[in-house]
């Protein structure tokens, strides 16, 4: 009888050890799954995000590195992957990076004038008559593509990731919202910029996901504030162009609320910001 009791005790302890082990394995799995939702993007998610933003920027999932146009929005020429402009420092930065990678090129001649325009935030395009042809022709050089990718990440993607870390944001779809906003509105200190919209959202909740605000609730409010900015920007020269782009925020909200594609892992993704339906596969 005593032996049986001893055996039962041993068996019960072994079962307890097994249960603890299995619970530990499950917890490890859950932690692993949780890490998958953390930013920054995985490479596949980054490619997907860039295709989505390309639909927003140029109504095509194929990234338009050779695109260049004067949109008459107070920013001079808008060009390339991330809508780099001659009135800001980013188009200049692309040309400078390209010249660093490929010293002999047809765009380097514009650097002095682009520097003057960037320094004064001027939308003037006088003297840049040959820029569109030189820009478009440069797409044949892979180093020009590399330069655009590098500056886009430096100016827009990396800052978006940093904002998300500071805000306690973990979902890839939320990072997409911040990243896209950074590309369209910039990371400056102006009242129409990304930082201003983040501050407005934090002020509304008196906090952020980092302090316990529900992330989806926070990002939907952020998108609401962004929509208001697009429709009524402080910089009125951008109002017409921006008001026509509200569809990009509508599309982001659909990923959040209708498709619930929070990790950007469901494929295909349908994007229709301006009336054309785009199917994007991972």
pLDDT at 266: 87
Chain-centroid distance of CA 219 in Å reads 13
d(CA 154, CA 193): 17
Full DSSP string of 211-251: GT--HHHHHHHHHHHHHHHHHS-SSGGGHHHHHTTTHHHHH
Q: What is the pTM of this model?
A: 0.85
Q: Which pLDDT does position 26 carry in this prediction? A: 35
pLDDT at 225 over 90: yes
Query: Residue ranges of the domains in the chain?
Result: 40-280
- 175, 133 contact by CB (below 8 A): no
Number of CB atoms found within 10 A of residue 27's CB: 10
- Local confidence band at 15 (pLDDT 50, 70, 90 cut-offs): very low
Summarize the confidence of residues 94-118 as an average pLDDT: 98
Task: Tell me how far apart the alpha carbons of residues 52 and 175 are, in angstroms, rounded to a whole number.
Answer: 13
Q: Which two tokens stand for residue 254?
A: 């659909």
- What CATH superfamily is the domain 40-280? Chitosanase, subunit A, domain 2 (3.30.386.10)
Helices (H), ranges, the chain: 2-36, 43-58, 89-101, 111-120, 131-138, 142-152, 158-167, 172-185, 194-205, 215-231, 239-243, 247-257
Q: What is the pLDDT of residue 38?
A: 62
pLDDT digits (tens, 9 = 90+) for 24-58: 343 333 334 344 446 899 999 999 999 999 999 99
Average per-residue pLDDT for the chain: 89
The predicted-structure confidence for 89-99, as pLDDT tens digits, reads as follows: 999 999 999 99
Instruction: Give the residue numbers annotated as catalytic, written as ranges.
Output: 57, 73
| DSSP conformation class of 82 | T
């Amino acid at each position: 009888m005593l032996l049986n009791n001893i055996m039962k005790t041993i068996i019960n302890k072994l079962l307890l050890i097994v249960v603890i082990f299995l619970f530990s394995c499950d917890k490890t799995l859950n932690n692993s799954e949780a890490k998958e939702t953390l930013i920054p993007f995985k490479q596949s998610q980054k490619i997907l995000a860039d295709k989505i933003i390309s639909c927003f920027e140029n109504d095509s999932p194929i990234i338009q590195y050779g695109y260049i146009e004067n949109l008459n929005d107070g920013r001079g020429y808008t060009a390339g992957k991330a809508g780099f402009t001659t009135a800001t420092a980013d188009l200049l930065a692309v040309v400078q990076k390209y010249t660093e990678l490929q010293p002999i090129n047809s765009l380097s001649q514009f650097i002095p004038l682009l520097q003057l325009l960037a320094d004064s935030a001027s939308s003037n395009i006088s003297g840049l008559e040959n820029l569109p042809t030189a820009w478009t022709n440069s797409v044949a050089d892979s180093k020009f593509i590399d330069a655009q990718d590098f500056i886009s990440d430096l100016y827009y993607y990396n800052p978006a990731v940093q904002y998300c870390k500071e805000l306690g944001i973990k979902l890839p779809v939320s990072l997409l919202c911040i990243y896209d906003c950074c590309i369209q509105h910039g990371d400056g200190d102006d009242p129409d910029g990304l930082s201003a919209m983040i501050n407005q959202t934090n002020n509304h909740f008196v906090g952020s996901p980092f302090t316990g605000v529900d992330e989806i609730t926070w990002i939907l409010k952020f998108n609401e504030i962004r929509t208001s900015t697009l429709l009524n920007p402080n910089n009125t020269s951008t109002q017409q162009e921006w008001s026509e782009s509200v569809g990009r925020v509508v599309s982001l909200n659909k990923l959040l609320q209708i498709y619930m594609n929070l990790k950007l892992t469901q494929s295909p993704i349908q994007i229709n910001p301006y009336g054309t339906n785009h199917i994007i596969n991972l």
